[in-house]
Amino acid sequence: MIKTFFYKVINIVFFTIFSWIFINVLLNNNGNSGFFQFNPAIIIGFVGIFIGMLIYINKVLENRCCNITKKRKTIIVFTLMAVVMIIQLILGYYLRVTPTWDFGFVHRNAVSLVTGNGVANMDYFLEFRNNTGVFLFLSVIYKAAYMLGIERFVAVGIILNVIMIDIAIILMFYICDRIFGTAKAFLALLVAILTTPFYTYAPIYYTDTLSMVFPVLILYLFILSKEITERWKKYILYAVIGVIGAGGGQIKLTVIFMLIAITLQLFLEEKIKEYLPKIIIMVVTFFIATQIFYVMVDSHKMFDFKVSEKSPIPYTHWVMMGMKGHGGWDYDDYLLTYSYSTREERTKANLEEIKNRLDNYGRGGYFKFLTIKASWTWGDGTYYSPSKLKRQPINNGIYQEIFLQKGKYFKYYAYFSQVVHIAILFLILVSAFCNIIIKNCSYTNILRIVVFGLMAFLLMWETRSRYIVNYIPIFILIAVEGVQLIQRFLKQERLS
């Protein structure tokens, strides 16, 4: 009873907020939600065609996948993914950029460390400790390559990035196979193949894509645990989930939203003697793994986090930046925080500015600002990739004409990306709406809790569409349920 009520409330709240975002993204597009001003009528028309195609393809797949063998399914999946990987590597090569911004700091310092020159920009990591995890992850991979005599570290980063993205897509396929069946799994794979950020982010090996595998891996292991009868094996899986959550969280904080959603699911679905040991194991291993990470960093003395004159940027800095303009990164806010030398002074200055901005907005003004901010975060089908690909590109050719904002063919890429993205958002809405009516609860309720947490977090935090890239496989999983529910409605089946 409590479980059903909770999920119904979550789905109602989710549907309400997501509808508000979706309508503004679709109808009030004035260039603020991305890199191109779209014609809403064209977008709506092509989204309708695209969803119609997905429903038709799904019907064909249901007929074709009835008796498919496990071996044949595996061959098809890995053949398709091999083609995807080839395209990703080609685009990764031709869309290469000289690493700049935070991406550049992480890359250059990892190269410096593994080639024996130590951490070149110690101050950066003392200030932005959130990038320590991705820096060390890249350093380990670069070190392995360096020991093999490979020094083309940009190429290593791109290959690693493509592998991480593709593992996430494959895990998404097998999750969908378990939840909805093989036909829907191939449909999810098709949507993934048509989702452009999986290709355009190939040369940007940073937290957004390197963390993509962790949420889907956590979900996959959670589903496996439900299928295992031996208690000790379940507990081992939950320990592994805790460790993976800790590792992923060090690369990108939003990974832990999946752990939170799973914890809620366990609490709602199982008796206390069943869920309590699992949650304790997961939480304990998460904190142990996190502490081991910090101890290892301290023991290698790469960073002196105890240096008194250095202070990490307080969390209030990103909240403050998230209250101006589109809610994205702001140079003036950056200077404001840096004008103070200690964490306490920075926090105080940030809080004062946050209060001033809230007072200046007023209730109506702040709601209007949040509307702009939500559209900026969720309304860009390119997921901010043109901004990253234009920063010191190494090549200049046909690919730049397609994928860079000033390119001759950019509008075709932008429209295609936007149609796929809006279709996914609409199908997520369908899934939420139908689950308000449906009595039974599916794994997609976990996913909506995750996306709800992500929405809430990014309404508060500094944001941009790049920050939701690592959850694209999760969006596709929910969207596939939307296709399934539309098909059931067309067949006039009762949603129950």
DSSP 131: G
CA separation for the pair 208, 467 (Å, rounded): 6
| H/E run at residue 78 | helix 70-94
pLDDT of residue 268: 82
Burial bucket for residue 343 (CB in 10 Å: 0-12, 13-18, 19+):
middle
Residues 6+ apart with CB under 8 A from 355: none
Supply the range of the domain harboring residue 176. 2-97+152-310+379-490
CB 344 within 8 A of CB 356: no
Write out the two tokens for 200.
């355009």
Please write down the HEC assignment for all residues of 250-319.
HHCHHHHHHHHHHHHHHHHHCCHHHHHHHHHHHHHHHHHHHHHHHHHHHHCCCCCCCCCCCCCCCHHHHH
Q: Is residue 206 part of a domain?
A: yes
Write out the two tokens for 217.
């891996």
Task: Chunk the chain into consecutive blocks of 10 residues (it has 496) and report each block's average pLDDT, rounded to whole numbers.
Answer: 78 92 80 73 95 94 87 95 97 95 93 88 82 93 94 96 98 95 96 97 96 96 90 92 95 94 86 88 94 79 56 87 90 90 89 94 92 91 93 92 92 95 96 81 82 93 94 96 88 60
pLDDT of residue 87: 97
Closest to 261 (Cα-Cα) out of 459, 45, 42, 456: 456
CA separation for the pair 158, 124 (Å, rounded): 23
Write out the two tokens for 84.
């995807």
What single letter denotes the amino acid at residue 190? L
CA separation for the pair 88, 81 (Å, rounded): 10
For the chain, the straight-line distance linking the first and the last C-alpha, in angstroms and rounded, comes to 16
Q: Is residue 318 part of a domain?
A: no
Number of H helices and number of E strands within the chain? 22, 0
Q: What's the structural domain count of the chain? A: 1
Q: Where are the beta strands (DSSP E) in 12-126?
A: none
Residues 6+ apart with CB under 8 A from 260: 449, 450, 453
For residue 438, count other CB atoms closer than 10 A to its CB: 19
The string of DSSP codes covering 358-385 is HHHHHHHHHHHHHHHHHHHHHS-TTTTH
Q: Is residue 297 part of a domain?
A: yes
Q: Is residue 138 part of a domain?
A: no
pTM of the model: 0.93
Q: Is residue 361 part of a domain?
A: no
Please, which residues bridge with residue 462 across strands? none
Write out the two tokens for 305.
């986090």
What single letter denotes the amino acid at residue 462? E
Q: Which residues of 129-168 are buried (b: 16+ CB within 10 A; e: fewer)?
A: ebbbbbbbbbbebbeebbeeeeeebbbbbbbbbbebbbeb
Q: Is residue 369 part of a domain?
A: no
| H/E run at residue 407 | none
Closest to 482 (Cα-Cα) out of 442, 439, 440: 442
Q: Is residue 93 part of a domain?
A: yes
Q: Is residue 281 part of a domain?
A: yes
CB 210 within 8 A of CB 162: no
Residues 6+ apart with CB under 8 A from 107: 99, 138, 153, 154, 157, 205
How far from the centroid of its chain's Cα atoms is residue 49's Cα? Answer: 27
Q: Say what the alpha-carbon torsion angle 179, 181, 183, 189 is, to the nearest 10 degrees.
A: 40
DSSP 326: T
Burial bucket for residue 95 (CB in 10 Å: 0-12, 13-18, 19+):
buried
What single letter denotes the amino acid at residue 237? L
